[in-house]
Amino acid sequence: MSESYELIMDSTNKIFKHYCTKELLDRAENGHWPQELWDVLAEAGIISIGFSEQAGGVGGDYIDAYNILKLAGKYGVPVPLAETLIGKWLFAEVGGQVGDIPLTLALQNDSNFSFVDEGDGYTLGGSASAVPWARYMEQILICGDLNGKQVAALVPLAHAEIREENNIAAEPRDSVIFSQVKIDGLTVYQVDSVLISEKSLYYLALAKAAMMAGAAERVMELSLFYANERQQFGRSLHRFQGIQHHIASLAGETVACITAVNTAVQALQDGQYKTEIPLAKMKVSAASGKIAMAAHQLHGAIGMTYEHSLHHLTRRLWSWRDESGNESYWGSVLAKSLIEKNSPTLWEVLTDEQNLLIVD
């Protein structure tokens, strides 16, 4: 964590709190792009944290960045902050620079982009699905094949066909299709596509986990407020033992989510994350369903209405737990590696921070 950590968190919290009101979230899921919020975040350097100034960032480390994402999850921030941050880090690693525009990315192996060199530009074909916020973005970071070599490029989305789709939190998850279009003036960067794809997946998985932990914190705050305020049978809800068990479960799972994320973020900061990030994403994904249901049960009918703000958080929990690998996906990854003959034992993995040999 950087020296100015407290200051960064405090000012980020203030910005999110001021802008990300229920009204803004309602409008965002009905087709509004909150440019003003983006400009404020860009101005404050929040979209460029976690990498050096030489590379176009504002400094800070992964601990700063992921704690900002935790806050973003808490307020349901309706812009691609995780995608922009991670896109910028990865693009900076291969030598590119992005600037202050919002960014989305599709670097995973399952996309199938291919470039053809035309001398003064490239022809690009291929598609990717569930691309966050693509409809509002000017550029997308992708990687693909160029004459048998793997390259990455920041491509203008004006050349793409975009099919609008949403996750269950009504966040844009669009299909992006490039139909052999010629794009002039494009710069491509040679990359290790396996590595960049893997990093993108792991970083995004941890981002989703951090955002879910933040959302869980907010769900808990709303639940505590309601359990205090709401009276039934002449008493506040929190006086009933049954309700206390929901509160204890919410508190327990929330602390667990935060601990899982903090541990994995520290591991990433220390350059080691291949076991920790899958474990954190699995833990938080599994907890998020419990958290959402306990909060709804506690809130009763009012929590199911569009008017209440609980759904902005619970629908995000239900969406994000399946994005960037759910429990089953990451469970398979860990099982595959644990079955390798020369893998460390379970206890060694847990206690010696020994990475499993992740195989694809």
Partner 1 sequence: MIKLELPVVKFSQDQKDFRATIRSFLQNERLAGTFESKCDSWLSGDSIEFSRKLGQKGWIGMTWPQEYGGGERSAIERYILTEELLAAGAPVAAHWFADRQTGPLFLKYGSEEQKQFFLPQIAKGECFFSIGLSEPNAGSDLAAIRTKAERTDGGWLINGSKIWTSGAHISHYMIVLCRTSPYDQNQRHAGMSQLIVDMKEKGVTVRPIQFLTGEHHFNEVFFENVFVPDNRLIGTEGNGWKQGMAELAYERSGPERILSTYPLLEEMIHILRENEDEAGLKETIALLPDLWTLRNMSMGVAKYLEEGQDVNMIAALVKDLGTVFETNVAEKARLIISRIPSMSSNDRLSRLMAQSILHGPGFTLRGGTTEILRGIVAKGVVAQ
Write the binding mask 185 to 224 for partner 1: x where contact by CB under 8 A, - elsewhere.
--------------------------------x--xx--x
Return the number of the residue (108 or 263) whose C-beta is nearest partner 1: 263
What does the CA dihedral 211, 41, 167, 266 come to, rounded to 10 degrees? -20
Q: Sort strands 113-117 and 139-146 into parallel, antiparallel or unpaired.
A: parallel
Shortest distance, CB of residue 200 to partner 1, whole angstroms?
A: 22
Return the number of the residue (63 or 130) whose C-beta is nearest partner 1: 63
Return the number of the residue (143 or 317) whose C-beta is nearest partner 1: 317
Site residues for partner 1, window 327-356 (CB under 8 A)? 327-328, 331-332, 334-336, 338-339, 343, 345-347, 350-353
- How many binding residues for partner 1 (CB under 8 A)? 49
Return the number of the residue (27 or 336) whose C-beta is nearest partner 1: 336
Site residues for partner 1, window 53-92 (CB under 8 A)? none
Beta bridge partners of 182: 123
Closest CA to 28 of 138, 131, 135: 135
Provide the greatest CA pair distance for the chain: 78
Closest CA to 292 of 168, 135, 150: 168
Closest CA to 142 of 153, 157, 156, 129: 153
Alpha-carbon span 68 to 144, nearest angstrom: 30
Closest CA to 105 of 121, 81, 70: 81
Among 259, 300, 304, 305, binds partner 1 (CB under 8 A): 259
> What tokens were used for 213?
């932990």
CB 12 within 8 A of CB 37: no
Return the number of the residue (52 or 351) whose C-beta is nearest partner 1: 351
CB 185 within 8 A of CB 240: no
What does the CA dihedral 148, 151, 157, 160 come to, rounded to 10 degrees? 10
User: How much helix, strand and coil, in percent to the nearest 5, is found in the chain?
Assistant: 55, 20, 30
Site residues for partner 1, window 282-321 (CB under 8 A)? 282-283, 286
Shortest distance, CB of residue 204 to partner 1, whole angstroms?
A: 18
Among 42, 255, 357, 358, binds partner 1 (CB under 8 A): 255
Shortest distance, CB of residue 73 to partner 1, whole angstroms?
A: 14
Helical H runs in the chain? 5-19, 22-28, 35-43, 62-75, 81-93, 193-229, 241-269, 276-299, 310-320, 327-338, 346-351
Among 15, 98, 170, 260, binds partner 1 (CB under 8 A): 260
CB 288 within 8 A of CB 320: yes
Answer yes or no whether residue 256 interacts with partner 1 by CB under 8 A.
yes
Site residues for partner 1, window 114-133 (CB under 8 A)? none
Among 56, 121, 252, 289, binds partner 1 (CB under 8 A): 252
Among 139, 249, 314, 324, binds partner 1 (CB under 8 A): 249
Q: What is the binding site for partner 1 (CB under 8 A)?
A: 217, 220-221, 224, 227-228, 238, 241, 243-245, 247-249, 251-256, 258-260, 262-263, 266, 270, 279-280, 282-283, 286, 327-328, 331-332, 334-336, 338-339, 343, 345-347, 350-353
